Amino acid sequence: MSFVTIERKVLEKNDEIARQNRALLSKHGLFSINLVSSPGAGKTTLLERTFAELAGRLRVRVVEGDVQTDIDAQRIAKLDVPVVQIVTNGACHLEAKLVQDALTQLDLRGAELLVIENVGNLVCPAGFDLGEDLKVVVVSTTEGDDKPLKYPAMFRNASVLVINKTDLLPYVDCDLAALRQRALQINPSLRVFETSCKTNAGIPEWCRWLEEQVRAKK
Amino acid sequence: MSFVTIERKVLEKNDEIARQNRALLSKHGLFSINLVSSPGAGKTTLLERTFAELAGRLRVRVVEGDVQTDIDAQRIAKLDVPVVQIVTNGACHLEAKLVQDALTQLDLRGAELLVIENVGNLVCPAGFDLGEDLKVVVVSTTEGDDKPLKYPAMFRNASVLVINKTDLLPYVDCDLAALRQRALQINPSLRVFETSCKTNAGIPEWCRWLEEQVRAKK
């Protein structure tokens, strides 16, 4: 029982700091997303394509979360996007305090979009509010079409689903209609995008939606 | 600090039950593996191919771990392999106690190989001994070649790496040599297999190795 109590305290503390993060981001008029997925679903590549598409259109900041490396932050920095890396040293998800610390390292003035790329994990990050406006869950077609059934908390807590690597559909067992339907059964208000970072399919639509959210936040 | 203490107690308790599981499995002369991977790397499909290949050659038992569903146990049951499903109800990894409970539901007499399929998660299951002989980590080529760098604990704690979905190599950005080398840098004693469940490539080699382990354990 003591474990449960402490777990609850950890979450309460997290929620309080998430509120502080949300207030800070609102003060700057920043629209923010918390990008979650399995390892290797293509979050960082999606960001590379997104920032290439949005170059000159949106001022972006990025917080990268990783268990051990700064590989992803290096990739984002190459695009001249200001980025801070959080290394969790083994922890399986980002918490609001880590993001709060990361935000002190970024110049938020004039920024319009903040992307927090979470640790690759379809389970644990679902329960931790970081102060973002909404969660975006990325699923790769190579993971099959049953992931919403198997990891429902993530799909319930997300506002947007990006089905990525659609270029691989001819080669994998993934029924796109079934994947969509299963996700929408869990969360009927999910906004769904289908993207390929190889062919750029769906990237313009996704970017237009991001721009709309940024304008609505201002 | 109290959180750390309790976490340590949880792990100590887990290790004690894992020892009990290990003793039980040894008593039955059972060789056992703990199969871990990201969601959608193909663990269950690998088991389907493995059990088809080993039909009539090895007597197998399976414990399936999942956050929410029994989809995987249903797939295994179709192959006439005795299987028990553990539903963790949101927890991100299997613990030894859950496996201990599951083993009471399986007739272990005469069995030779036990496969425990863990929750799809490359982070949390790394730290929990279930009483298995060894951990097998499955990585899909679609996840890219940087996963050993980003999730080193899993590769350090595993004895075997299965690189799956090699049929997709022409379509994805995955340098197989780099993936191997990065994994072996972290854990030089890793045994590496390359498999495709579409073409059956590598499945016979993997199954021969399993048979050798079973014989060595008897």
Contacts with A65 from chain B: Cβ below 8 Å: none
A61 touches chain B (CB under 8 A): no
State the DSSP string of B1-49: -HHHHHHHHHHHHHHHHHHHHHHHHHHTT-EEEEEEESTTSSHHHHHHH
For residue A7, name the pLDDT band (cuts at 50, 70, 90): low
- Nearest-neighbour CA in chain B from A124: distance (Å): 7
Task: Look up the ipTM and state it.
Answer: 0.90
pLDDT at residue number A30 = 96
pLDDT at residue number B2 = 44
B185 touches chain A (CB under 8 A): no
State the DSSP string of A40-102: TS-HHHHHHHHHHHHTTT--EEEEEEESS--HHHHHHHTTT--EEEEE-TT-SS--HHHHHHH
DSSP class of residue B84 equals: E
pLDDT at residue number A2 = 44
| Residue of chain B whose alpha carbon sits nearest to that of A87 | B150
Contacts with A40 from chain B: Cβ below 8 Å: 38, 140, 142-144, 147
Q: What is the mean pLDDT of residues A168-197?
A: 98
Out of A20-29, A87-96, A157-166, B36-45, least confident range: A87-96
Are A210 and A58 within 8 A, CB to CB? yes
What does the mean pLDDT of chain A come to?
A: 95
Out of A86-90, B70-74, B96-100, B199-203, least confident range: A86-90
Test mutation, B4, B87, B142, B147, chain A, max A CBs within 10 A:
B142
pLDDT at residue number A5 = 58
pLDDT at residue number B90 = 87
For residue B10, name the pLDDT band (cuts at 50, 70, 90): confident
Q: Model confidence over A97-113: pLDDT tens digits?
A: 999 999 999 999 999 99
For residue B1, name the pLDDT band (cuts at 50, 70, 90): very low
Does the structure show a pLDDT above 50 at B194? yes
For residue B23, give the amino acid letter. Answer: A
Q: What is the mean pLDDT of residues A120-125?
A: 95
Does the structure show a pLDDT above 90 at B185? yes
A144 touches chain B (CB under 8 A): yes
Residue A142: name the closest of A120, A119, A173, A121 by CA: A173
Q: What is the mean pLDDT of residues B71-94?
A: 95
- Nearest-neighbour CA in chain B from A27: distance (Å): 34
Residue B69 to residue A155: CA distance in whole angstroms: 15
| Residue of chain A whose alpha carbon sits nearest to that of B10 | A3
Q: What is the mean pLDDT of residues B190-213?
A: 98
What does the mean pLDDT of chain B come to?
A: 95
| Residue of chain B whose alpha carbon sits nearest to that of A153 | B90
Test mutation, A43, A122, A164, chain B, max B CBs within 10 A:
A122
Test mutation, A142, A147, A166, chain B, max B CBs within 10 A:
A142
Does the structure show a pLDDT above 80 at B5? no
